[in-house]
Amino acid sequence: MPDLPQLVGAVILVAMIVYVASGGADFGSGVWELFARGPRGQQQVRALRVAIAPIWEANHVWLILVVVLLFVCFPAAFAAIMVALHLPVTLMLVGIVLRGAAFAFQSYAAGDHAIERHSVRLFRVASMITPMALGVVAGAVAGGHIRVDAATGAVAPGAVRPWLLPFPLLVGLMTLSLCTYLAAVYMTVETEGPLREDFRRRALVAGCAVGAVALPAAFVAHSEAPVIGVPLLASAWSVPFHVTTGVVAVAALVALGRRSFRTARFLAIAQTALILIGWGVAQYPFVLAPDLDVGNCAADPAVLAATLIVLGAGTVLLVPAFVCLYRVFKQ
């Protein structure tokens, strides 16, 4: 039976999966606005905005949950991450805030075309920067280059270097590609006719881009980030896991090719979940590799137990609310 730190870690992983699968697609929609060209460009932009308008604020609940759980249940790791990765974390959070403000301003510009124009530009740029920064943070956390004194919690000098290495940057690029892929796949369900075909073609391109980035990321991980790279590529479970993930990814592209859009959406979500599960399993037991694991940086068991009880009570309220939200506004 898993102990309390493992249970909290599992909840964090599930919350990250839900956030990328939902909020990640919101970021991807902003990226696709940058590529809205041709005779249906404005129609594409309108469809993207209508699709995310009812849900984009609610989806950030899952990221908030991840941050709060790290702060409360793994405070030493949280502190080290905020110190060593303060630049990409700040960039990510500022991007989320500016993106939300820009979306609101472009929707309620009250005829002020200058405000609307600048808001649209800011929304689109922030939609690219934010998922890239999120992926860079995840890659740096798993990369094993942030050294922490477990006794004092002090982070070794070199706060910039860990996230400027090739592995975190490739993970950031992969996260951006995955978000654009999810957005395009979801839009094939949200639209019809020529617009649906536009997003189908973009989903196929973005799906291939995810695979194209994943291969060099895995190669670099093995040599540059062995803490996660070796388990991910050389453990007993790695081959069947990667085969399964690859089959699901190819099946999603086949479903798009056959215009089975709801099946493609399900498979794209499954692919996202598998990618993040692989990351979590390979990184276990580390919260911040290689010095802080679930054993030496977890909070007091009483804090963990109370947190899990509150999570259970909150789930009773949160999950039905999200189900209702999506049933009302989504297909």
Q: What is the pLDDT of residue 286?
A: 92
Residues in the chain: 331
Higher pLDDT, 196 or 37: 196
Please check the confidence at residue 200 and state whether its pLDDT lies above 80: yes
Identity of the residue numbered 169: L
Overall average pLDDT of the 246-274 stretch:
96
Cite the DSSP H helix spans in 60-149: 61-73, 75-84, 86-107, 113-143
Q: Are 55 and 22 in contact (CB under 8 A)?
A: yes
Q: Could you tell me the CA-to-CA distances from 296 to 25, 70, 73, 107 in Å, in that order?
A: 35, 14, 12, 48
Judged by average pLDDT, the poorest of 86-95, 117-126, 179-188 is: 117-126
Residues 6+ apart with CB under 8 A from 93: none
pTM attached to this predicted model: 0.92
Q: Are 33 and 48 in contact (CB under 8 A)?
A: yes
What percentage of the chain carries pLDDT values higher than 70? 94
Please check the confidence at residue 320 and state whether its pLDDT lies above 80: yes
Please check the confidence at residue 162 and state whether its pLDDT lies above 60: yes
Report residue 2's pLDDT band, with 50, 70 and 90 as the boundaries.
Answer: low
Q: Do β-strands 292-293 and 286-288 pair in parallel, antiparallel, or remain unpaired?
A: antiparallel
Overall average pLDDT of the 1-25 stretch:
91
Q: Are 11 and 70 in contact (CB under 8 A)?
A: no
Please check the confidence at residue 14 and state whether its pLDDT lies above 60: yes
Identity of the residue numbered 20: V
Q: What is the pLDDT of residue 230?
A: 82
Q: What is the pLDDT of residue 28?
A: 92
Q: What is the distance between the alpha carbons of residues 238 and 245, in angstroms, rounded to a whole number?
A: 10
Please check the confidence at residue 271 and state whether its pLDDT lies above 90: yes
Write the DSSP symbol of residue 286: E
Q: What is the pLDDT of residue 124?
A: 87
User: In this predicted model, what pLDDT tens digit does every residue of 28-50 receive, in sequence order?
Assistant: 998 998 888 778 888 998 999 88
Report residue 123's pLDDT band, with 50, 70 and 90 as the boundaries.
Answer: confident
Write the DSSP symbol of residue 88: H
Q: What is the pLDDT of residue 248?
A: 97
Identity of the residue numbered 191: T
Please check the confidence at residue 94 and state whether its pLDDT lies above 70: yes
Q: What is the pLDDT of residue 32?
A: 93
Please check the confidence at residue 108 and state whether its pLDDT lies above 70: no
User: In this predicted model, what pLDDT tens digit does every residue of 203-231 receive, in sequence order?
Assistant: 999 999 999 999 899 888 888 888 888 88
What percentage of the chain carries pLDDT values higher than 90? 55
Report residue 112's pLDDT band, with 50, 70 and 90 as the boundaries.
Answer: low
Overall average pLDDT of the 88-106 stretch:
86
Q: What is the pLDDT of residue 235?
A: 83
To which residue do tokens 């922030």 refer? 126
Write the DSSP symbol of residue 163: G
Overall average pLDDT of the 13-36 stretch:
92
Please check the confidence at residue 1 and state whether its pLDDT lies above 60: no
Q: What is the distance between the alpha carbons of residues 60 and 178, in angstroms, rounded to a whole number?
A: 17
Q: Could you give the angle at the alpha carbon of 325 between the alpha carbons of 66 and 116, nearest 5°?
A: 85
Q: What is the mean pLDDT of the chain?
A: 89
Q: Are 222 and 229 in contact (CB under 8 A)?
A: yes
Please check the confidence at residue 111 and state whether its pLDDT lies above 60: no
